[in-house]
Amino acid sequence: MQRTYLKQAAKTARSDADDVRDTVQAILDDIEKGGDEAALRYGEKFDGYSGPVLLNAEEIKAASDKVSQRLKDDIAFAHDNVRRFAEIQKSTLQNVETEILPGLIAGQRAIPCQTAGCYVPGGRYSHVASAIMTVTTAKVAGCRHITACSPPRKGEGIAPAIIYAANLCGADSILSMGGVQGVAAMTFGLFGLPKADILVGPGNQFVAEAKRILFGRVGIDMIAGPTDSLILADATADPFIVATDLVGQAEHGYNSPVWLVTDTRALAERVMEILPGLIADLPELNRVNAEAAWRDYGEVVLCTDREDMAACSDEYAPEHLTVQAEDLDWWLDRLQCYGSLFLGEETTVAFGDKASGTNHVLPTSKSAKYTGGLSVHKYMKIVTWQRSTRDGARPVAEATARISRLEGMEGHARSADARLAKYFPGETFDLSGTD
């Protein structure tokens, strides 16, 4: 039996992707040439803001004073969860060394990037969670300087809750600038900031394109497209919970795909029956986004059994993957391609997005086939080192000389020859490189 699409998407996440490369490249070139002045000009043009760009301690305190104690407590709760999970992740990276041959020792070191630039979406919404996710992980990783950059609201500045969260989580600088100009400022080291070694955090298509163009001269976490989510559900799942979770992710944007994969037709039909009413009950902007996302990008796939469901999910390689089915350990062991996995009804993508501890900056558009999401590991460089005694160097030098000559790399071979001649004078070696 083949898979049956009870609802199939009319579009993909990239169907409406605008060709923004030329626009972004022109802005980056202008800012690199014009420096602070050019960045400020674009900030005023796109953000409608001409206030302080780098916030000082007094401005941070003034913004923090506007945040309610309840919200401060919630931010502290989420920060603590993210921090503790990040610390556990960091503990899996250890400096190691081993004696490969007698006298030849090689090792590994994990070294954090010096400077991190954390982009935090702002504007209409206060994306407090993104400040927590990006700044906290950079701090735990050990980055020496962390810049949090967020778009100011027109004529107002960054939302106070974002300022409070970024400061609490360890940002050394808070930059009131959004979009391409904010990314450029962190990359080029404008306004007295150190140049970023790595850029992280979600953003709109212009931010994503800027990161893509700049990748190479600066590291990035990933090139992200529209957020996407998939739910695997069997006959034991609650249709209302499944539908609620699909709607909760569809509200991200008009082109945010949400998918239901199941082996139970009755469940699928009930979810499709409930879902429109849940969308209609959302506030206006959320409703408009969710309606378009479900209409144009939503899919419902009926599979033959749970193995087929798992295989289908791995093909989608979703950013967020939820399992509401029996035998959760089986799913944990079987599933391979996802950004973050949510097992059982008692957890949900919204928990991971905001407060449970795992990171919400995750791979989209099937990139979960080859990468994971943001973590302390993204800020860490795994470097190697070696040292050797003269006796330990001998067999390595002989092999290196012969392999190098076979490859036609005479200069490499002579680096090995020189050591053999110095360390073992009078001895003869066969270093011809003939096979």
Catalytic residues: 319-320
Q: How far apart are the first and last CA of the chain?
A: 55
Closest CA to 302 of 263, 258, 272: 263
Give CA–CA dist 325/321, Å, rounded.
Answer: 12
Structure token pair of residue 411: 């200069």
Give CA–CA dist 238/397, Å, rounded.
Answer: 66
Evaluate whether 134 touches 200 at the Cβ level (below 8 Å): yes
* Residue 388: other Cβ atoms inside 10 A: 19
Closest CA to 40 of 23, 22, 52: 52
CA distances from 180 to 33, 47, 187, 224, 365 (A): 14, 11, 10, 15, 22
Pairing assessment for the beta strands 104-112 and 380-388 based on DSSP bridges:
antiparallel
* Residue 284: other Cβ atoms inside 10 A: 7
Output DSSP code: residue 194.
P
Give CA–CA dist 72/81, Å, rounded.
Answer: 14
Closest CA to 86 of 133, 145, 23: 133
Output DSSP code: residue 97.
E
The set of long-range contacts for 154-157, using a CB threshold of 8 Å and a minimum separation of 24, is 154/47, 154/48, 154/49, 155/48, 155/49, 156/49, 157/49, 157/51, 157/52, 157/63
Give CA–CA dist 340/133, Å, rounded.
Answer: 14
* Residue 185: other Cβ atoms inside 10 A: 28
Q: Where is 32: in which H helix or E strand? A: helix 21-42
Output DSSP code: residue 209.
H
* Residue 14: other Cβ atoms inside 10 A: 10
